[in-house]
Structure 1
Amino acid sequence: MEIDRELVDVLTRAGAGSVNHHGSTLLAHLSGTARLLDLWNCPPHVCKAGLWHSFYSWVADPTERSRAAVRAAIGDEAEVLIYLFCHTAPEDLVCAQHDGDELLLKCGATVVRVSADTYAQLLLIDRANAEEMLQRETFAPSHREVLRARCAVVMRLLEDIERSRQPGCPYHEQLHSGQEPALSPTPTTDSDGTEPVAEFVLRIWRLHPNGVRVSRADPTLGGLAPESARQFCGPYIHANGAGFYVYSPIDVDLSLDPDRPFPWEWNILGEGYTDEDVAVVKSMRIQHPRFERDFIKRRPKLFLSGDDTEPKHTAQLWTGCIFETPPGWSLLVRSPINRGLDAPFRIQESIIESDWLRYDIWLNLEFMKFGVEAQIRRAGEPIAHIIPIPRQSYDRWHVQERMVAPEDEEAQQVFDDWIDYNWEKFHSRADGAREQRTYARRRKRLRDRVRDV
């Protein structure tokens, strides 16, 4: 399909040819997106939507009048795709929730129902949008990695849609036509020698070489977990091993007592962040002179909140690192799970949406015990726990409750499964002794069955 010159002329008259778009023009980007969709044998209305996919962001607001004009120019199907694409945040597009044969898509402030066909077409436009930008040399390596990860996520979603269809579905040819992403995701080799999938990589950008240390969380709590729990308690082990540990960037002794004239007492051992620590930041002064100057001047170590008259109970500790997660993933920041329970402080829990904003994390230490010195060390216990979580886990879920009743077939099945599990766990032995391995055995059987599928 050749690009409709009349549609291109509309964009030209609107000034798309003079709008800068990452080293090129917006018009060139829109035309390139449409050409990729045509190369992938997408239907004509999808290619037209790709050509105008930024129309309601750059050219016109989606009023009733403008939407009617767009429908008259490119057709109803293409206009709906443009409207949805312009009003759906990138992170929401990859987090649509299945509801029967349809999907629930967060579009602006509302949630709309779309068919699997429409959702697949939106994903194809999103993929073409990212791949067109990947073909340029003007993007920084870090931005290109984000685009690669985005393509990988979208391709996986498209493949999931394909698997849910019957053979011969409209997108079977596109997904198996040999059209791979322009630049394949670059896997990162993990510490255990495996190569994680690109969309499951936590990226950390250090602002100085001697800041926080990050390591995988330990299911055994460094060998301190009870032996019986390590062998038989799956929920305990899963929680311990989720995510990553963060260790303090400085050695500091810190205590809080509201009854003292000045509530805080602290002693930073050594130099904290030395001039050598910030050498990396100094090297950025040409590009970011103000940031470099302010950083050296203040040299972040520790911020203590409150004053003599109204002390607060929170200290802030800077990690000195920028954290980045793949599209649709955030970071839950909290105290280490099942560790450091006797510490005089806890980490205030927060969720950082580090996919759309690469973010340096400040740890808020909220003191719960007064007059007790916290000895925080780089080489000591982890100070915080960060866990990647999908965004839909906190903004898409709803609660459904109902009583277990004999006439409710599904509820009866749930009740029967629960009875069977408890019978096997507590009464399977002839002597009535408790069988501790029931959970572990069932978990292994279920996981093996899932792997086989």
Structure 2
Amino acid sequence: MQKIVEFFRACPAALAPLKADPSALGTLPTVAFQYCEAVRIASSYGWYVFPPADIVLRWDGNDVFYAADDEWIELKAIHLDQESVEYWDRHAPEDMRGYAPPFLSHLLIPGVVQIWSGFFVQTAPGWSLVIRDPANFPQSKSFRCFDGVVETDSFAPCPLFMNIQLTATDREIVIPRDKPLFQVLPVLRECYQDAALRDHPIIEFDTGDKGSSQITAAHWDGIRSTLRRTDAADAVSRSGTYGAQVRRRAKRED
């Protein structure tokens, strides 16, 4: 079977991407984990990606500083450590030596920091990567992640990084190494191209003076099977129905 995604570790200290977890690493409420298959699938789709080291930042509204050796240093662009630079130069061809990607960079926009995971990534032909914050996973209120879609089949192998916007000023912002910073999800390129998204028919319940409704008996059968009514007996009988259907279909397809 063709591998959809390949990760290239360019920094020895970098934690390997981790297959995303249906329980969001145990942070989902038990009821959601047990009964909401939609949440479980969204949580488990893709891989978690981690920063290669603990990060402590501070933003004064204009400049960004990072903590190093008990002092605050203004952030421009830094490498993780000398060992990671030497590792890169030892394995890189001659024309690429001295060009190891920086671990942390303060971009041109105030408070926006780029964090490199220590990995490069490549996808199979026709596949791209959605890069976003971890699904259904509690994140810090001190920063937010920027979502992106990268065509990692042709622009590849490309450095796997996340741009974050710092949102808290004049306080320490801690980004731990052992907590997922972002999540990557493979997606077929055709799914997000304009041609696939431009044509989206609207089926009207009531067409007014134009004639009868476009909703057919088959549509109502589908609505009847998906809509949970308010009576208790119906709610109990339908609880977990969607998840059971999805799991049965997955077993058949396997």
After TM superposition, give the deviation of residue 293 of structure 1 in Å. 2.4
**1:329-381 Cα distance to aligned partner (Å, 9 max, x none):** 001111111113333112111111111121112311112333343211222x1
Distance 1:325 1:369 in 2: 35
CA distance in 2 between counterparts of 1:429 and 1:390 reads: 41
Distance change in 2, residues 1:312/1:434 (3 Å): farther
Is residue 64 of structure 2 the alignment partner of residue 264 of structure 1? Answer: yes
SS class of match (1:218): coil
- Correspondence 1:402 to 2:206: no
Q: By how many angstroms is 1:213 displaced?
A: 3.0
Q: Contact 1:250 / 1:268 at 8 angstroms: preserved in 2?
A: no
Q: Secondary structure at the match of 2:227?
A: helix
Instruction: Name the SS of the counterpart of 1:211 in structure 2.
Output: coil
CA distance in structure 1 between the aligned counterparts of 2:160 and 2:50, rounded to whole angstroms: 13
Rounded Cα–Cα distance in structure 1 between residues aligned with 2:47 and 2:203: 37
Alignment of 1:403-442 (within 5 A): 403-405=204-206, 407=212, 411-422=216-227, 426-427=230-231, 429=233, 435-442=238-245
Per-residue displacement from partner, 1:19-52 (whole Å, max 9, x unpaired)? xxxxxxxxxxxxxxxxxxxxxxxxxxxxxxxxxx
Alignment partner of 1:345 out of 138, 143, 161: 143
**1:330 touches 1:388 (CA, 8 Å); kept in 2?**
yes
* Structure with greater strand share of residues: 2
Partner residue, 1:205: 8
The code of the aligned residue for 2:145 comes to: I
CA pair 445-220 structure 1, distance change in 2 beyond 3 A? same
Pick from 149, 159, 162 the counterpart of residue 363 of structure 1.
162
Report the 3-state secondary structure (helix = DSSP H, G, I; strand = E; otherwise coil) of the residue aligned with 1:397: helix
- Asked if the contact 2:4/2:186 (under 8 Å) is kept, the reply is no
Gaps of 5+ in 2: 71-77
Q: 1:451 to 1:303 in 2, by over 3 A?
A: closer
**Does the alignment pair 1:377 with 2:176?**
yes
Alpha-carbon contact 1:202-1:326 (below 8 Å) kept: yes
Could you tell me which amino acid in structure 2 is paired with residue 366 of structure 1?
Answer: Q
Aligned: 1:301 with 2:103 = yes
TM-score, normalised to structure 1, is: 0.48
Instruction: Give a deviation string over 1:140-175, Cα, whole Å, max 9, x none.
Output: xxxxxxxxxxxxxxxxxxxxxxxxxxxxxxxxxxxx
Structure with larger RCO (C-alpha < 8 A, sep 6+): 2
With normalisation by structure 2, the TM-score equals 0.81
Taking the aligned partners of 1:211 and 1:410, their CA distance within structure 2 comes to 54
1:317–1:363 Cα contact (<8 Å) kept: yes
CA distance in 2: counterparts of 1:221 and 1:400, whole angstroms: 35
Gaps spanning 5+ residues in structure 1: where? Answer: 1-196
Amino acid at match of 1:276: E
* In 2: Cα distance, 1:414 partner to 1:370 partner: 52
Q: Is the 8 A contact 2:57 2:65 kept in 1?
A: yes
Closer, same or farther: CA 400–269 of 1 in aligned 2, 3 Å: farther
Residues 246-261 of structure 1 correspond to what in structure 2 (within 5 A)?
Answer: 246-258=49-61
Asked if 1:391 is matched to 2:194, the reply is: no
Whichever residue aligns with residue 23 of structure 2, its letter is T
Separation in 2, partners of 1:411, 1:369: 52
3-state DSSP of counterpart to 1:416: helix
Matches of 1:315 and 1:348 in 2, distance apart? Answer: 10
C-alpha RMSD of the superposition: 2.9
Encode CA deviations 1:257-288: one digit per residue, 9 max, x unaligned.
Answer: 31xxx632321479962332234322245x33
Partner of 1:336: 134
Distance 1:227 1:269 in 2: 42
